Structure 1
Amino acid sequence: MSPPRHAVRRTLASAAALVVLAATAGCGGAATAGGDQVSELRYQGSVGQVTLPELAADLGYLGDVTLTWIGNVTGGPQDIQATATGQSDFGGAFNGAIVKLAAANAPITAR
């Protein structure tokens, strides 16, 4: 028996969010050029949702790195704009917004 369609869509959406998070992780300015480990990551949350970085922090996967919530985001384009301008250290959006960033020569890198 195959899983319900909404479960498959939710799984695909989560996987896409991980890819976008990885693609935009290099946009922020928290990392130093000398290769020092970052101790704090600024991020925007989502109302009524636990983000993947929040879950990772609660499960202890981030080690000594702390998350600093700077506010809630209303949408993906706003989230990656804040990342591209240095207001937050990482963000996520749907793939179309990432493609538009790349076309505009935004400083994005995959990590």
Structure 2
Amino acid sequence: MYNGIGLQTPRGSGTNGYIQGNKFFVKPKSGKVVVDNKGFGAGQGTGGVTKKPNKEILEHDRKRQIELKLVILEDKLADQGYTDAEIADKLVEARRNLESTAASEEAAGGAAPLSFADKK
């Protein structure tokens, strides 16, 4: 037995009793910043805690939401019996409206804060 792990004795177990460590176990890291003076200056050691979102990813998500709304609108218009030309015209108009509202929201104060409840 090693540190309370393993068999008391390997006799009769069909093994040699060798204990092998789990090399793939990753110890969980806490999000807390350790408060000690080991060479860190003011504000150092908090890089992962206050990370800002990537603007390119937010822009891509905004465009994706617009395209999703347009696809839903296209399906509704096709079900209602509109011709392809009418659907294309309405989609162009809807795209302009959605992009202008998104641009005005961005200019007013940035994108709305994302929450996981909205994604569900």
Q: Which has the larger radius of gyration?
A: 2
TM-score between both structures, scaled by the size of structure 1: 0.28
TM-score between both structures, scaled by the size of structure 2: 0.26
| Higher relative contact order, structure no. (Cα contacts within 8 Å, ≥ 6 residues apart) | 1
